[in-house]
């Protein structure tokens, strides 16, 4: 393997990312964590699964940032998890400090990497990471809408009892309570869901998608989702490494698109070998556009807390 992916944080999301990346034979993986033994143990465990699972990617763990040297992609998963009753915004100041310290290490050891942020509150941490590294904006992006759209697809599949792989969905806006599911752009084998599902059920599915992370937090009680977030993250890595140019909803930096600028928020982008290669502007209804702009406005206010 010539390609290398560094994962910051060897918790549930980081370790699940490492497993999915290895199984895809996408790149060699190094996990970095501050807890001694944890990344090393998980890395060794995943390496030992390789002969049975049929992958040749190496998975290693370390407590030293110098081991991320030369990484092509850095996945930022480290941070304090959301607990029941805690909003993503509650995490803001606590996780901003972690982002700032990691940004310094990425600049030093992997200055040519792409950075894929998964830490919450997602859109704000992606903005903070870009500012702290100074990397080009196309090389710093957040995993938001891919996960939210995946959840939407799963819920539509449950509703209709059809193959999940036949469903395409689009969810825009902030990764949180202000996200904007777009049923108009959600299809089953090309058929709009409005032709298959009653309006009230679509509304219910959209709301469940919006609360998707919170629903899992309540069920787990001591943590948050990790399998689906990791799967969505690996999908994005694949699109960059293989130059797939997939159209995916990603937290990207806007410069006037949708009437929004100077903020990271979830929008459809073409994701390829140059990272965020272009932003696609969908024709939104007045209600949809207002919801997206309201989402952006909320994050503008939160950025002030960080001094932006």
Residue appearing with tokens 């899992």? 216
Known catalytic residue: 302?
no
CATH number at residue 29: 3.40.50.720
Give the helix, strand, coil percentages of the chain, each rounded to 5.
50, 20, 30
Our count of domains for the chain comes to 2
91 pLDDT higher than 80: no
CB 31 within 8 A of CB 42: yes
Task: Provide the whole-model pTM.
Answer: 0.95
Given this model, what pLDDT does residue 158 score?
Answer: 98
Residue appearing with tokens 């049929």? 54
Do 48 and 153 have their domain in common?
no
Question: What is the spatial distance between Cα 150 and Cα 228, in angstroms, rounded to a whole number?
Answer: 8
- Written as six digits, the tokens of 268 are 């459809």
Q: Which of 87, 116, 142 is the last residue of a domain?
A: 142
Do 195 and 282 have their domain in common?
yes
The average confidence (pLDDT) of the chain is: 94
Question: What is the spatial distance between Cα 172 and Cα 267, in angstroms, rounded to a whole number?
Answer: 5
Do 131 and 160 have their domain in common?
no
Q: How confident is the model at residue 289 (pLDDT cuts 50, 70, 90)?
A: very high
CATH number at residue 218: 3.90.110.10
Q: Read off the pLDDT of residues 233-282 as tens digits, 9 standing for 90 and up.
A: 999 999 999 999 999 999 999 999 999 999 999 999 999 999 999 999 99
Do 241 and 122 have their domain in common?
no
CB 246 within 8 A of CB 103: no
Residues whose CB is less than 8 angstroms from the CB of residue 220 and which lie 6 or more positions away in sequence, other chains included = none
Do 125 and 205 have their domain in common?
no
Do 82 and 183 have their domain in common?
no
**Alpha helix positions (H), 176-285:** 199-210, 212-220, 227-241
Give, in order, the Cα–Cα distances in Å from 104 to each of 70, 101, 131: 15, 5, 11
Do 72 and 113 have their domain in common?
yes
Do 185 and 212 have their domain in common?
yes
Q: Which of 99, 114, 142 is the last residue of a domain?
A: 142
Question: What is the spatial distance between Cα 169 and Cα 148, in angstroms, rounded to a whole number?
Answer: 9
Q: How confident is the model at residue 222 (pLDDT cuts 50, 70, 90)?
A: confident
Mean pLDDT calculated for residue range 29-43: 98
CB 110 within 8 A of CB 6: yes
Range of the domain at 190: 145-305
Do 111 and 166 have their domain in common?
no
CB 124 within 8 A of CB 302: yes
Q: Read off the pLDDT of residues 129-182 as tens digits, 9 standing for 90 and up.
A: 999 999 999 999 999 899 999 999 999 999 999 999 999 999 999 887 788 999
Do 207 and 296 have their domain in common?
yes
82 pLDDT higher than 90: no
Q: Which of 10, 175, 275, 298 is catalytic?
A: 175
Do 137 and 185 have their domain in common?
no
Do 138 and 156 have their domain in common?
no
């Amino acid at each position: 393997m010539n390609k290398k992916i560094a994962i910051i944080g060897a918790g549930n999301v980081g370790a699940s990312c490492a497993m999915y990346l290895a199984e895809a034979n996408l790149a060699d993986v190094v996990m970095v964590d501050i807890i001694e033994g944890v990344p090393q143990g998980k890395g060794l465990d995943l390496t030992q699964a390789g002969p049975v699972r049929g992958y040749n990617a190496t998975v290693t763990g370390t407590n030293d940032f110098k081991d991320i040297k030369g990484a092509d992609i850095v996945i930022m998963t480290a941070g304090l998890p959301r607990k029941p009753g805690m909003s993503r915004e509650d995490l803001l100041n606590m996780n901003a400090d972690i982002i700032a310290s990691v940004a310094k290490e990425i600049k030093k050891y992997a200055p040519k990497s792409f950075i894929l942020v998964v830490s919450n509150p997602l859109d704000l941490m992606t903005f903070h990471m870009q500012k702290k590294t100074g990397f080009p904006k196309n090389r710093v992006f957040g995993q938001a809408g891919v996960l939210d759209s995946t959840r939407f697809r799963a819920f539509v599949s449950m509703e209709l009892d059809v193959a999940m792989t036949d469903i395409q969905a689009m969810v825009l806006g902030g990764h949180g309570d202000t996200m904007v599911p777009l049923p108009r752009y959600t299809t089953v084998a090309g058929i709009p869901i409005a032709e298959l599902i009653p309006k009230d059920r679509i509304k219910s599915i959209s709301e469940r998608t919006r609360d998707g992370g919170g629903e899992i937090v309540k069920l787990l009680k001591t943590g948050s989702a990790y399998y689906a977030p990791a799967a969505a993250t690996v999908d994005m890595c694949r699109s960059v490494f293989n130059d797939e140019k997939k159209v995916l909803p990603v937290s990207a930096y806007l410069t006037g698109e949708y009437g929004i600028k100077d903020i990271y928020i979830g929008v459809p982008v073409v994701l390829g070998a140059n990272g965020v290669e272009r932003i696609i502007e969908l024709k939104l209804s007045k209600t949809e556009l207002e919801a997206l702009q309201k989402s952006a406005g909320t994050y503008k206010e939160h950025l002030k807390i960080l001094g932006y």
